[in-house]
Amino acid sequence: MISKIQTVKKEVSKVVVGQEKMIDGLLIALLCEGHILIEGVPGLAKTTTVNALAKALGLNFKRAQFTPDLLPSDILGAEIYDPQNNSFKIKKGPIFTNLLLADEINRAPAKVQSALLEVMQEQQVTLGDATFQLDSPFFVMATQNPVEQEGVYQLPEAQLDRFMLKIIVDYNTKEEELEIARRISSGSFESIEAVLTHDDLIELKRKVKEVHIDSEVEEYMIELVNATRNPSQYGLEELKDFIQFGASPRVSIDMFKAVKAMAFLRGKDFVTPVDIAYVAKELMRHRIVLTYEAEAEGITTDEIIQKVLETVQIP
């Protein structure tokens, strides 16, 4: 089954150059039925990547551009009056899809963010008196632009916790950017074909659940999470004044899922500490709340997670 994953990656690479971390993150979230938050400046192929992945998987894809004047009904849908029949009918919003790209989620007001995040958690939408279950798989990829901070509504920590992974997308290398420019100028991008069926996706999810985690590795993951809450117990006294709230219990749950998917993507049927290190920052960077002292000194959550990874004893 791992060959099918490689085939999907090959299809996506027809239109996306580089960005391995983002593609791996999307596949992990998809296989674990989680959601993903991506932060990066414009032009880094965030929309292109999720669109390409949807085509390769043969899934429905919709994109919603978040703006300050957006209403929850613009995302969820609403009851519309039909004068011909003198009745109300349901008009479904873009949330009714398999892959939803919530572009610049921090531009929309809190009530829109809450409406989306509630659907992410419940996998259902209530419009009027009717409740609709969303099709499976349902996967949200939200993006936010770290450059512009005026006129935006930052996601509260409790809502950030709903996202399985937060990926920071950086610029491509010089070689990759040269390849992108050449492809676009010559129009040499190939069309993407659907290479995975719905049954294949169900089978892949089953295979991921079968990946083995040794009990010592399980305990190691819990120790990593606990070290962000009680750094003094792990000889990390210097972090005590920088962490206001450590990683939430959702991190432990998501970590157990994500490392299995990571091991599977690397062609293994068991989890190693290397798999954990590969996704630890993506799992925890948006779930640790820093103190004012940390922000004043320019300390980031990534630096804290790195220190925890270096300190907690590897089994």
Which of 186, 220, 254 represents a domain boundary (last residue)? 186
pLDDT score recorded for residue 156: 73
From 186, 203, 229, give the residue that closes a domain. Answer: 186
Q: Which of 137, 171, 186 is the last residue of a domain?
A: 186
Residues 158 and 42 in one domain: yes
How many separate domains does the chain show?
A: 2
Integer Cα distance of 3 and 265 in angstroms: 10
Structure tokens at 213: 């985690």
Nearest to 125 by CA among 93, 169, 89: 93
Average pLDDT on 142-160 reads 72
Same domain, 22 and 169: yes
Residues 179 and 215 in one domain: no
- Name which of 25, 38, 10, 256 is nearest 145 in CA terms: 38
- Give domain status of residue 96, yes or no: yes
Question: In CATH, what number is assigned to the domain containing residue 217?
Answer: 1.10.8.80
Q: What is the token pair recorded at 265?
A: 């993507």
Residues 82 and 175 in one domain: yes
More confident residue, 13 or 289: 289
**243 in helix, strand or coil?**
strand
Domain of 44, CATH number, reads 3.40.50.300
pLDDT at 188: 66
Whether 98 and 180 map to the same domain: the answer is yes
Which has more confidence, 194 or 293?
293
Between 36 and 20, whose confidence is greater?
36
Q: Is residue 191 part of a domain?
A: no
Q: Does residue 200 lie within any of the structural domains?
A: no
In a domain, 304, yes or no: yes
Residue 148 pLDDT > 70 = no
**Could you tell me if 194 and 55 are in contact, meaning their C-beta atoms sit under 8 angstroms apart?**
yes
Residue 196 counted as domain residue:
no
Q: Let me know whether 52 and 162 are in one domain.
A: yes
Residue 222 and residue 17: Cα distance in Å, rounded? 36
Average pLDDT, whole number, for the chain? 82
pLDDT digits (tens, 9 = 90+) for 248-294: 888 989 999 999 999 998 888 888 889 898 888 899 888 888 888 88
Other residues' Cβ atoms within 10 Å of the Cβ of residue 221: 22
Helix (H, G, I), strand (E, B) or coil at 92: strand
Domain for residue 67, yes or no? yes
| Same domain for 21 and 145 | yes
On whether residue 293 sits in a domain, the answer given is yes
Question: What tokens appear for 169 in the block?
Answer: 């997308």
109 and 170, same domain (yes or no): yes
Show the domain range for 272: 211-311
List the beta bridge partners of residue 166.
Answer: 37
Band of residue 239 on the pLDDT scale cut at 50, 70, 90: confident
Residues 129 and 30 in one domain: yes
Instruction: Report yes or no on 192 lying in a domain.
Output: no
In this prediction, residue 152 carries a pLDDT of 65
176 and 230 share one domain: no
Count CA within 13 A, CB hemisphere, residue 25. 28
Nearest-angstrom CA–CA distance, 98 and 57: 10
Is the same domain home to 58 and 161? yes
Query: Could you tell me if 276 and 130 lie in one domain?
Result: no
